[in-house]
């Protein structure tokens, strides 16, 4: 007799669970060693409160009415609940504030897409630390956590979530055209991106820069290939890279100017964690300097989260490849 479970959810049996526990303990203990205190927030929050953090995130969340008729939603990440928590429970705490979590998040997905609806995340939020030092600390802790979890091939891509948007604005690309371009970029759909760019009728230099930016990945030399309207973002990435190199982490870091995270709240550096053993990102994050202000305590902030399931697959693949 088969009793189905919803698509995008999983049963985890003891052999796998033991390995997931080991990974989550490795990440969590690394976070705590670096001064990040673990917190828990309710799985169910008022939908309106989550929407305060990000209008678009609320759209993909599971929603339900409680017994009193209030609209609740299952959290779709931990960053927005922690922003709420900081404004409510850390209103008078002197920054920086360092928090971490290991918790499930839930997202409504297109049926048949194979996307998970429930995923276990482990992550950190560093609140009240401006760039570049805040960005560098988050990256360094993330790399230490992956090392502690026993991964060996991991790399962290660093880009800037505001960079492409700033360029589109400076080239006066109509507002309605920007979102499809950013979505193509987030999907790494370079062909789609070029087709859309060609339609815009921009000056040849502008079109070339927008197309090329999406492919610029590598060491600090890629930063020499862009300037002009990007100088602020480029300067921050250069400083981050230098500071990470001073910590001996340069070989783990890839500068990736085409990196765009899909969440709406990133305002500066964005991160994505890769492992050549697998074809998907193990996690990501970035700087979100506007989010806490929406909850009433304006502070710069930066964070990163790992998908534990994916970290586990990468670990297994690394072992298989030897």
Measured distance CA(134)–CA(240) in Å, rounded? 9
Pairwise CA distance, residues 238 & 227, whole Å: 12
Answer yes or no whether residue 10 interacts with a second copy by CB under 8 A.
yes
Query: At which residue do the structure tokens 């360092």 appear?
Result: 98
The H or E element spanning position 185 is helix 175-186
How many residues sit close enough to a second copy to count as binding (CB under 8 A)? 55
- Interface with a second copy (CB under 8 A), residue from 13, 175, 203, 321: 13
Nearer to a second copy by C-beta: 37 or 276? 37
End-to-end CA distance of the chain, in Å? Answer: 40
Out of 33, 55, 59, 88, which residue is the one contacting a second copy (CB under 8 A)? 88
Please report whether residue 14 would count as binding a second copy according to CB under 8 A.
yes
Determine if 298 is a binding residue for a second copy (CB under 8 A): no
Do residues 282 and 310 make contact, with C-beta atoms less than 8 angstroms apart?
yes
Member of 85, 129, 210, 302 binding a second copy (CB under 8 A): 85
How far is it, in rounded angstroms, from Cα 251 to Cα 244? 9
Which residues, numbered 54-73, are part of the site for a second copy (CB under 8 A)?
A: 62-64, 66-68, 70, 72
Q: Is 79 in the site for a second copy (CB under 8 A)?
A: no
Cα 82 to Cα 97: distance, rounded to the nearest angstrom: 11
171: contact with a second copy by CB under 8 A: no
Tell me phi and psi for residue 158, to 5 degrees: -125, 130
Interacting residues with a second copy (CB under 8 A): 1-6, 9-15, 17-18, 20-21, 37-46, 49, 52, 62-64, 66-68, 70, 72, 74, 84-85, 87-89, 99, 104, 106, 108-111, 117-118, 295-297
């Amino acid at each position: 007799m088969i009793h189905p479970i919803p698509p995008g959810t999983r049963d985890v049996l003891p052999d796998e669970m033991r390995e997931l526990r080991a990974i989550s303990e490795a990440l969590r203990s690394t976070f705590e060693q670096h001064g990040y205190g673990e917190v828990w927030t309710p799985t169910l929050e008022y939908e309106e409160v989550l929407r305060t953090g990000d209008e678009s995130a609320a759209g993909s969340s599971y929603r339900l009415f409680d017994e009193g008729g209030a609209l609740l939603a299952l959290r779709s990440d931990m960053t927005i609940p922690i922003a709420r928590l900081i404004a409510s429970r850390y209103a008078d705490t002197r920054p920086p504030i360092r928090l971490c979590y290991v918790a499930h998040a839930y997202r409504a997905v297109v049926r048949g897409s194979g996307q998970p609806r429930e995923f276990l995340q482990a992550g950190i939020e560093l609140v009240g630390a401006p760039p570049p030092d805040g960005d560098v600390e988050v990256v360094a802790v993330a790399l230490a956590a992956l090392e502690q979890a026993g991964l060996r091939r991991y790399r962290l891509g660093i880009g800037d979530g505001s960079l492409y948007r700033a360029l589109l604005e400076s080239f006066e690309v109509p507002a309605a055209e920007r979102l499809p371009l950013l979505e193509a970029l987030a999907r790494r759909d370079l062909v789609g991106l070029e087709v859309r760019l060609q339609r815009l009728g921009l000056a040849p230099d502008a079109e070339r820069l927008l197309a090329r930016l999406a492919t610029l990945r590598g060491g600090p030399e890629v930063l020499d290939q862009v300037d002009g309207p990007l100088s602020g973002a480029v300067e921050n990435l250069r400083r981050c890279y230098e500071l990470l190199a001073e910590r001996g982490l340069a070989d783990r870091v890839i500068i990736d100017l085409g990196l765009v995270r899909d969440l709406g709240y990133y305002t500066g550096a964005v991160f994505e964690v890769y492992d050549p053993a697998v074809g998907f990102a193990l996690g990501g994050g970035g700087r979100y300097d506007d989010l806490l202000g929406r909850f009433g305590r304006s502070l710069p902030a930066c964070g990163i989260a790992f998908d534990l399931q994916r970290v586990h697959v990468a670990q297994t693949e690394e072992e298989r490849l030897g």
